[in-house]
Chain A
Amino acid sequence: MTDSTAPGQQVATPADARDDTLAIAPNPPRRALGLHRRLSRVWANDPGWWGHVTAVNHTTLGLRFMGTALVFFLVGGVLAMLIRAQLATHDGAFLDTELYNQIFTMHGSIMMFLFAIPMLEGLAIYLLPKLLGTRDMAFPRLTALGYWCYLFGGLIMLTALLFGVAPRDGWFMYTPLSGATYSPGINADVWLLGVTFVEISALCAAVEITVTILRQRAPGMKLTEMPLFAWYMLGTSVMMLVGFPPLILASVLLEIERAFDWPFFAVARGGDPLLWQHLFWLFGHPEVYIIFLPAAGVLSTLIPVLCRTQIMGYGAIVASVLALVFLSFGLWVHHMFTVGIPHMALAFFSAASLLVAVPTVVQVFAWIGTMWQGRPQLVLPMYHILGFFLTFVMGGLTGVMLAVVPFNWQAHDTAFVTAHLHYVLIGGFVFPMMAAAVWWMPQITGRERVRGLGEAAFWVILIGFHGTFFIMHLTGLLGMPRRIDVYPDNPEWVWLNLTSSIFGFVMTIGFGLFVLDMALQAFMGQKQRRDPWRAPTLDWAMPLPAPPYTFASIPAPQHLDLPAREVITILARGEGLLPGAPRDRRELLTTSLGTARPDHVALLPGNTALPLGLASAIGGFVLLMLAGLYALTLLPLVLVAMLIWRWGRGMVRPVDDAPIEVAPGLSLPLQGWRRRTLGWTGSVCLLVANGTLFASLVFGIGFLALVASEWPGPEARVTSAALPWVAIAALMPVLGALAQRRSDALQRRGGDGSAAAGLGVVANSVAVAALAVLALGHMDDPTQHARDALRGVLAGYVALHALIGAGMAGFAMDQFRRAEITARHAGLLPVWRLWQDYAAVTALVAALLAVGLGMSA
């Protein structure tokens, strides 16, 4: 790969660099206003307050994600100030210990789960379709569902704080402290259920970000030439797909332990508290890079434009992103250097932790090199970028120090680590995000910034930040641990803490100024001319503020090399592909994975309240779990199943549409004619996440069996009489997969596959029934030992997948009966096939594991 070509740069790309078979003739120009009016009618949100409920548009929801995340940032900031007020003196009588513990736990949890992750999701959702030259994210209703899950989960946690029952075990919730014995009450449940609820939104976002980047780039925008931000987001979304499932599994296991007393972490019954730490940090360390990568993507986007040049080392940067994604899953143990792991194992993780610095260093030097090769302009976004460099480099260096095992033994769990992580997160995320805010606010508001205030905010934040956290390194080295509320015997820490507290308030004032600046811009700014930064990327090739349909016509290959300001009119006049909304429905173009050749026209759903309904049903489940009304949780679960069915019905499209001419001489089929729809790619992503969850479970079983002290457990009661039922439960999903193939074959021939699909329903149902027989008649009491609890979890996992498989088979059967599946239209069949195959494989593995855990003769 060459070092100098980034897509959409103002320089002309050599003619042979683009695939010349991808010449697409332009559509004839039309009246831009006419296109705009009709597109706006089709793509706009419903009017009035109802429009807020039913909105699925990525611009609306991206902004809503970011706005909500900003509110949570302010709440988290207020909590931080309470912490600093408490620590300003050595016997702070400001908060009692119980409340202090809730506040620092919530500060960390809010900043991680309710600010950073949703903020980057919001940025990606808002920006990606504009940057890639498409009209919306792949699954608009999923965007909305993610938002509502995020909002409800966040509100549950905030409400708990208001009522004094917030989580109080630290944001990483170590067991046994967070278990039922040492944390009675609902505080820990609020964390486990609330955060898992919010993670639904992270998974939704990860799935659709991946699919949007892989399948919706403008024709001709090759994977290897797409804007760097898309590479960063692709890395981020893959990490989210693989990183969040271990935490979701850990949260589910701990909640089951707390609610039903199944032991996974309790030592006396075969559990191990370190299982929690492994699963938590398997998520927790990639999490740091999940937060950093989008911010680095912003830097790689902004720096070249601000220096009027191109990014240096496109290929090296992409390689660095991929290396970070890979390496970040191999160093979670560096959060556990003091748990008593053998030194040679520590050496391995120490080496991995040091190695992960290399791709970051490469990027930092690529950015500085870019600045050398151009002419940097010292405007406000550049201030924040310089703030990033100063802060992040220091945070990175302390991070490298912490990767050195003996030093970690001293610094671990002290204020030194607090300082380090704030340098990394504020340096590596907040400063770039502030640069991004300044950068894209003109697009969001259509207005110019009010001069002066933003610069003042920057300086106050920078001084406040370093004043707070620089000396905190020293506080930690002088022995102050994290998470203490008083230190009566250590007068030597007072001046350090007092200084941190004073500057902390300075930093808060700075963030207040920053928010004020954005508000002034939104309400009082002058009207902004188009393309204020003279950017090369497509996100500026549109009127300001961005219209709901984003592009009146989809950019063609020849538009990708032009500067944004030239493309604006071309696209607005409909000279690109798929101009306007002549069929009065939301259409966009899907392209092939690598070279972005036009593939088919996808139809997107319009405004709907279904996401809110589904999120409310899930919220009902969460609230009933919190209330301990476990039997009643079946009601919202049934509702969830019904709403998902309706969701699926909403995907069904009329089957007899003719191909659509997206450009002169280029006609493309509609999505139903292709087996590999966006929904299919999304299902693959979901199964990757699901597979990671299952792999984490297998890891957990292996870990407990090999490491936990109370193994093997008491004599198992389960005997070989259970084996036939295990075999039925394991083989029935395989029969389901055969039934699916039969349906597929009949569909291809144009036959009626409803009976075959019906067999799929029966096979999956029999598997569930066999598992019920096992659970009621054969298996040991799952509260007895971790072995039995794990067997229970495996059975539950297989049962859930068989149930969903039955649902999918039923849906396909229904589609056959309604003649929605024809020789051309596969309906749900391809997705059912993915699911059923996955269910069959995991059922077999689960059966082997369950038997392998041992039974009596």
Chain B
Amino acid sequence: MRGALVLMLPLVLAGCDSPLSTLTPAGPAARDIAGLWWVMLGGAAVLTLLVLVLLAMAFGPPRQVRARVWTHWLGLGLSFPVLGAMLAAGLWVGERVLPRDDGALQIKVHAVQWFWEFTAPSPDGPVTTRDRLILPAGEPVDLIITSSDVIHSFWVPQLGGKMDAIPGRENRLRLQADAPGRLAGQCAEFCGVGHAVMRFEVEVVEAGDWEEALRDAANDGDAEDD
């Protein structure tokens, strides 16, 4: 069955437009994690197969077996290296995608039942957009995520993992988009009746065009207000 999935996936991914897919990464963090997934999937398939083969082989005449081989060599000897490798890989990827104090651009993300407010700094003062996040391509961005009502979770699957928006605290998430384009984001933590529609769009523009795009967005916002 695992094999079938592996065969199936490319078809799915090629055939469909998947704006929220973690498997079509559009940034380094999501790409690292997707890589982690594919390796883990392969390992899981091998281990599942191993268990099934051992089970199938059990159906037969009784064998002389030594308990220690099963409980110690297989039970401990197999699991520790596998789990140790996973822990190391997880830590390595985790460290790579963590925010650093390197003066990266900071955008404030404020979650409200049931919409998103993004506030970016610009020469003309902070610009706030609603349900629309504008990012410069190829540059790391730190998102400062807050909420003032209930818990939400900020998630742009094609860029990286999610981060909760929790009343009373500021969470920081670093994302980076590879190239200009349109991506999608959504709330991932159940937050009431509007949870399913609490979505936003992510507009990635060339780094040089970012301030202008922000200015345009601000003007759009003014127009909407009128």
Contacts and interface: CB of A to CB of B under 8 A. Distances in A.
Contact of A340 (B21, B171, B199): B171
A371 B55 contact: yes
A490 B16 CA distance: 10
Contact of A386 (B9, B55, B65, B192): B55
Given A97-B196, A358-B76, A405-B94, A340 B169 contact: yes
Contacts of B29: 406
Interface string A469-491: 01101100111111111110111
Given A177-B191, A406-B33, A474-B5, A354 B83 contact: yes
A492 B18 CA distance: 6
Given A357-B83, A358-B79, A466-B1, A709 B191 contact: no
Contacts of B7: none
Contacts of A710: 168
A310 B199 CA distance: 57
A351 B94 CA distance: 13
A364 B12 contact: no
Contact of A369 (B18, B65, B153): B65
B83 A487 contact: no
A487 to B, nearest CB: 7
B164 to A, nearest CB: 5
A771 B130 CA distance: 52
B1 A338 contact: no
Contact of A406 (B5, B20, B32, B75): B32
B51 A479 contact: no
Nearest to B96: A406
A351 B160 CA distance: 22
B152 to A, nearest CB: 10
B167 interface: yes
Interface string B17-47: 1111111000001101100110010001001
B58 interface: yes
Contacts of B17: 492
A722 interface: no
B71 A404 contact: no
Interface in A342-369: 343, 346-347, 350-351, 354-355, 357-358, 361-366, 368-369
Q: Chain A interface mostly helix, strand, loop or mixed?
A: helix
A410 B157 contact: yes
A176 B167 contact: yes
A393 interface: yes
Contacts of B67: 3-4, 312-313, 316, 366, 369
B98 to A, nearest CB: 6
Contact of A376 (B44, B51, B58, B160): B58
Contacts of A410: 22, 30, 33, 37, 157, 160-162
A400 B86 contact: yes
23 contacts: A273-B151, A312-B65, A340-B163, A343-B94, A343-B98, A350-B91, A354-B83, A369-B74, A372-B57, A372-B58, A372-B65, A389-B51, A397-B47, A398-B44, A404-B86, A405-B90, A412-B188, A466-B1, A470-B1, A478-B22, A483-B190, A492-B12, A710-B168
A327 to B, nearest CB: 13
B89 interface: yes
Nearest to B86: A404
Interface in A272-319: 272-274, 307, 309, 312-313, 316
B78 interface: yes
A736 B18 CA distance: 69
B78 to A, nearest CB: 7
Given A343-B98, A403-B90, A414-B188, 15 more contacts: A3-B67, A3-B68, A101-B192, A174-B150, A267-B168, A312-B65, A313-B70, A316-B72, A363-B75, A365-B75, A401-B86, A410-B160, A413-B162, A479-B18, A481-B155
Nearest to B25: A410
B188 to A, nearest CB: 5
Nearest to B36: A407
A98 B192 CA distance: 8
B95 interface: yes
Contacts of A365: 70-71, 74-75
A580 to B, nearest CB: 42
Contacts of B98: 343
Interface in A113-165: none
Interface string B153-187: 10101001111101111011000000000001011
Contacts of B19: 479, 489-490
Interface string A379-420: 000000010011001100110110111111111111000000
Interface of B: 1, 5, 8-9, 12, 16-23, 29-30, 32-33, 36-37, 40, 44, 47-48, 51-52, 54-55, 57-65, 67-72, 74-76, 78-80, 83, 86-87, 89-91, 93-95, 97-98, 113, 149-151, 153, 155, 157, 160-164, 166-169, 171-172, 184, 186-193, 195-197, 199
Given A176-B167, A410-B161, A355 B83 contact: yes
Nearest to B61: A375
Contacts of B161: 338, 406, 408-410, 412
A338 B145 CA distance: 12
A170 B186 CA distance: 18
Contacts of B65: 312, 369, 372-373
B18 A393 contact: no
Given A267-B168, A309-B62, A358-B76, A389 B55 contact: yes
Interface in A428-480: 466, 470-471, 473-474, 477-480
A350 B90 CA distance: 9
A708 interface: yes
Contacts of A405: 90-91, 94
B186 A481 contact: yes
A225 interface: no
A374 interface: yes
Contacts of B157: 410, 479
Contacts of B188: 338, 412-414, 481
Interface in A1-41: 3-4
B102 to A, nearest CB: 16
Contacts of B89: 404
B190 A482 contact: yes
A657 to B, nearest CB: 49
A651 to B, nearest CB: 45
Contact of B20 (A338, A364, A404, A490): A490
Nearest to B84: A354
Contacts of B64: 373
A531 interface: no
A696 B180 CA distance: 50
A736 B30 CA distance: 63
Given A351-B87, A373-B65, A366 B48 contact: no
Given A351-B87, A406-B161, A483-B195, A176 B151 contact: yes
Contacts of A486: 196-197
